[in-house]
Amino acid sequence: MERVVITGLGVVGPHGVGLAPLLDAERVQGTSFSAWPANVARPHDEALVAQVSDLQARRYFTERQMRLADRAMLLASSAAGLAIEDAGLHGQEALLREACTFLGTARAELPSCYQFLRPQLNEPREQLNAADFPRIARNIACGQVAIRFGLQGPSTVLASGPLSSLEAATRAARYIRTGRATHALVGGFEALSRFALYHFSQHQRAHLQARHPAFFGTDPGLLVPSEGACMLMLESLSSARARGARIHAEIEGWCAGRVGDDENAAEVLAERWQALSAGQEPRVLALSSGGATRAHERAESAALPAWCQRHPQAAVMAPRALVGEGDAWASALQLALAANLLGQRESLPLHSLAPSADASVQRAASARPLHGDLAVVSAMNETLHYSMLSLRRPPSEA
């Protein structure tokens, strides 16, 4: 069985390009957020969004290609190009030819479908139903990424909300571990279309009312719709060593499931985090949410104190505090941040903790230096399904 490592990280978000701005949390805190667009019905006058201003798409597209591609395609492809470059695979067509492309998204399908199919329609149409194109609708942006960078292996998009990018990484890890592939591009992307903002304003209105960030407590946090893309290049350890690649982290294990109707969600989460640690002392616990008052966020906030008391030297981070509610792309971002932080001991994104946060959680949110060689990355959606991965420091450094 092959061991699976992360060799490339590519990030495009409202904070900017790359991970470096996020590691300077004092500088980036709050700067990702802007006013809700005036041309879209807003839930209240102080509602915020987190939009991307710098794509760097011209590094990978001509002006004509950019006009033909929609925002989801540009976001995904730009982050993919950065991940491939970071992995040292730019121009390595022979190595990339059989690479898999497994991506996740929650809300980019319909605009991508319309933009891709519009030239093929006999007459312009104001609306399309992605369900009319079942074999391609969810795969359009992912397929464009594969075509643009010559990735000819299996290619698909998973659409299970915040879990999808972690599930994509898990699927790719299985392919590599069993020898079905040596390289895989994984991650998540989300675009803030008018449809996405309408969905937020109509279905998350109660959670958009909070005016200030507040994470990991009983008080509601700030829900800020976000867009962006985060991609990771996975490959077998033997391949990475053969070409002398820099290794960010190794994927050690994973688990997924759902909280049953007769189970306590907080207890299930704490138990799974502990089981994935396998008795080891984690350095980081990365969570995809932690704010607002939705069921999965309340479960995370309730599960944290017991876990933090068991691991008093571990740190906790929630990228959403810095980049907004990004669904699949923010979950991929926490995976990239955890991989990056495993090679460091002094840097960690800060959060805006709720005043009601438990003392052990407050300590974990500012823990320095980071301790241990393991990171646990966790995501949960509103139906109380969860997906988790454990990462270890690079083998050469362990």
Tell me the per-residue pLDDT of 127-167, one tens digit each, with 9 for 90 and over: 666 566 655 556 677 888 898 899 999 998 888 788 999 99
Q: Does residue 246 register a pLDDT over 80?
A: yes
Q: Which residue has the tokens 């798409």?
A: 57
Which of the listed ranges 204-213, 237-246, 324-333 does the model predict with the highest average pLDDT? 237-246
* Size (the chain), residues: 398
pLDDT value for 392: 93
CB 273 within 8 A of CB 279: no
Q: Say if residue 46's pLDDT is above 90.
A: no
Tokens 């290794």, located at residue: 247
Domains and CATH numbers, the chain: 4-242 (3.40.47.10), 253-392 (3.40.47.10)
| pLDDT more than 90, % of the chain | 41
Distance of CA 168 to the CA centre of its chain: 10
Average pLDDT score over residue span 200-218: 75
Count other C-beta atoms under 10 Å from residue 249's C-beta: 29
The pLDDT of 361-390, averaged and rounded, is 89
Model confidence at 231, pLDDT cuts 50, 70, 90, reads: very high
Per-residue CA distances from 374 to 3, 177, 223, 224 (Å): 16, 19, 29, 30
Cα 389 from chain centre? 12
Question: What is the reported pLDDT for 170?
Answer: 96
Number of separate helices (H) and strands (E) present in the chain? 15, 13
Exposure class string for 100-127: b at 16+ Cβ within 10 A, else e? bbbbbbbbbbbbbbbbbbeeeeeeeeee
Do you find a cis peptide bond into 369, omega within 30 degrees of 0? yes
Is the pLDDT score of 19 beyond 80? Answer: yes
pLDDT of 193 over the 80 cut: yes
Mean pLDDT of 355-379: 86
Sign for the CA dihedral angle at 140, 144, 145, 151 comes to: positive
Of 290-294, 320-324, 390-394, where does mean pLDDT reach its minimum?
290-294
The identity of residue 336, as a single letter, is A
The listed range with the strongest mean pLDDT (83-87, 157-161, 276-280, 345-349) is 83-87
Mean confidence (pLDDT) of the chain: 85
- Per-residue pLDDT, 344: 78
> From the centroid of its chain, how far is CA 176?
20
**If you average pLDDT over residues 366-371, what whole number do you get?**
80
Phi-psi region of 372 (alpha: psi -120 to 50; beta: other; left: phi over 0): left
Helix (H) or strand (E) holding 84: helix 71-86
Interior CA angle at 183 toward 181 and 188, to 5°?
A: 115
* The pLDDT of residue 79: 95
**Within a 10 A sphere around the Cβ of 267, how many other Cβ atoms?**
14
The pLDDT tens digits of the residues spanning 72-116 come to 888 999 999 999 999 999 989 999 999 999 999 887 666 666 666
pLDDT band at 398 (very low <50, low <70, confident <90, very high): very low
Mean pLDDT, rounded, for 278-290: 81
Question: What distances in angstroms separate CA 316 from CA 135, 257, 270, one per listed residue?
Answer: 39, 22, 13
Binned at pLDDT 50, 70 and 90, residue 206 comes out as: confident
> Largest Cα–Cα distance in the chain?
63
Paired strand residues for 317: 286
DSSP state of 120: G
| CA distance to 51, 53, 71, per residue, from 40 (Å) | 14, 18, 17
- pLDDT of 383 higher than 80: yes
Could you identify the residue written with the tokens 């998350």?
Answer: 204
Residue 257 has what pLDDT? 95
pLDDT number for residue 87 = 97
Residues 351, 317 contacting (CB under 8 angstroms): yes
Give 60's contacts (C-beta < 8 A, 6+ positions apart): 77, 78, 81, 148
Per-residue pLDDT at 178 exceeds 80? yes
| Distance between CA atoms of residues 277 and 376, nearest Å | 7
How many CB atoms within 10 Å of residue 270? 21
Q: What is the pairing mode between strands 374-380 and 385-392?
A: antiparallel
Q: What is the distance, to the nearest Å, from the Cα of residue 238 to the centroid of all Cα atoms in its chain? A: 26
Tokens 């139903």, residue located: 129
